[in-house]
Amino acid sequence: MSASASLSLPGRVVVQAADFNLATEIATLREGNSAVGAVCSFIGTVRDRNHGSDVASMELEHYPGMTEKAIEAMIDEAHRRFDILGARIIHRIGLLQPLDQIMMVAVVSAHRGESFQACEFLMDYLKTQAPFWKKEQTPEGARWVDARVADDVALARWGIASGNT
């Protein structure tokens, strides 16, 4: 784990309805830390198609408190596995349209390799393990979809057993 005390920083995980600004979020994550030599980020956006159907919109739901706790544990695990200085995850909930930003993962470290690995680890973990549920509006009607995608290959890369069957 990094010598940085970033594990105690508030606001590592935010679940919100409002959109976010990537530049602002990264500036906040880097602020005042001259040890940061690398920043890696990922933004997920709403697609207009899923499972072969047009998607007009999606609505994301979560269990307040439980979801944030699960994502905090993911960040703790990233700190154990990689020499990172900090991480921040924002995930939106509520009604979203195609092209809207859904989520962001940002990681800072002294060197790029650790940032890239930690960001990919957090994305794989978030996509497959985080407790979110989504309802898609399609021409065939509304359908609930488990927002977690079983990706056993991605989980195996990190030595994580699939919890989604």
pTM for the model: 0.83
Distances (CA, A) of 63 to 5, 6, 27, 79, 102: 28, 25, 29, 25, 17
Q: What is the mean pLDDT of residues 137-145?
A: 85
Please report which confidence band the pLDDT of residue 3 belongs to, taking 50, 70 and 90 as the band edges.
Answer: very low
The reported pLDDT for the residue numbered 9 is 42
Nearest-10 crossing angle of helices 112-129, 66-81: 150
Mean pLDDT, residues 8-17 taken together? 78
Q: What is the DSSP letter of 131?
A: -
pLDDT of residue 126: 87
pLDDT at 152: 65
Quick one: CATH architecture of 6-152? Alpha-Beta Complex (3.90)
To the nearest whole percent, how much of the chain has pLDDT over 70?
Answer: 85
Residue 61: pLDDT band (50, 70, 90) is: very high
> Cα–Cα distance between 38 and 34 in angstroms, integer?
11
Q: What is the mean pLDDT of residues 7-20?
A: 79
Annotated domain spans of the chain: 6-152
Q: Given this model, what pLDDT does residue 1 score?
A: 37
Mean pLDDT of 150-156: 66
Q: Does residue 5 register a pLDDT over 90?
A: no
d(CA 109, CA 86) in angstroms, rounded, equals 7
